[in-house]
Amino acid sequence: MKDGEIISNVRLQGDYFVVKFYAPAISRSARAGQFVHVRIDRGLDRILRRPFSIHDTAPDGTVTVVYKVVGHGTRTLSTLPAGATCDLLGPLGVGFRDVPEEVVPVLVGGGYGAAATYLLTKQLPQRGVFLLGARSAGDVLLTDAYRAANYDVRVATNDGSMGRRGLVTDLLDGVFDEYAGRKLFFYGCGPHPMLMALARILRKRGAAGELSIDHLMCCGVGACFACVVKVKSDTPEGWSYARACTDGPVFDLDDVYVE
Give the per-residue pLDDT at 214.
Answer: 77
Q: How does pLDDT run along the chain (259 residues), one tens digit per residue?
A: 577 999 999 999 999 999 999 999 999 999 999 999 998 876 545 667 889 999 999 999 999 999 999 888 899 999 999 999 999 999 999 999 999 999 999 999 998 889 999 999 999 999 999 999 999 999 999 999 999 999 999 999 999 999 999 999 999 999 999 999 899 999 999 999 999 999 999 999 999 999 998 777 777 777 777 788 888 998 988 899 888 888 889 999 999 999 7
Is 109 within 8 Å of 187 (Cβ atoms)?
no
Residues 6+ apart with CB under 8 A from 136: 157, 158, 159, 161, 162
Q: What is the pTM of this model?
A: 0.93
Identify the CA nearest to 34 among candidates 111, 115, 121, 103: 115
Burial of 164 (C-beta count, 10 Å sphere; 0-12/13-18/19+) = middle
* CATH, domain 104-255, list 3.40.50.620, 3.10.20.30, 3.40.50.80, 3.30.390.50: 3.40.50.80
Domain 2-92 class in CATH: mainly beta
Q: Where are the alpha helices (DSSP H) in the chain?
A: 24-29, 72-79, 114-117, 120-123, 143-148, 172-178, 192-205
Give the pLDDT score at 47.
Answer: 66
The reported pLDDT for the residue numbered 183 is 96
- CA–CA distances in Å: residue 122 to residues 32, 33, 58, 141, 150: 9, 12, 10, 18, 11
Domain boundaries, the chain: 2-92, 104-255
| 77 phi/psi in degrees, rounded to 5 | -60, -40
Same topology, domains 2-92 and 104-255? Answer is no
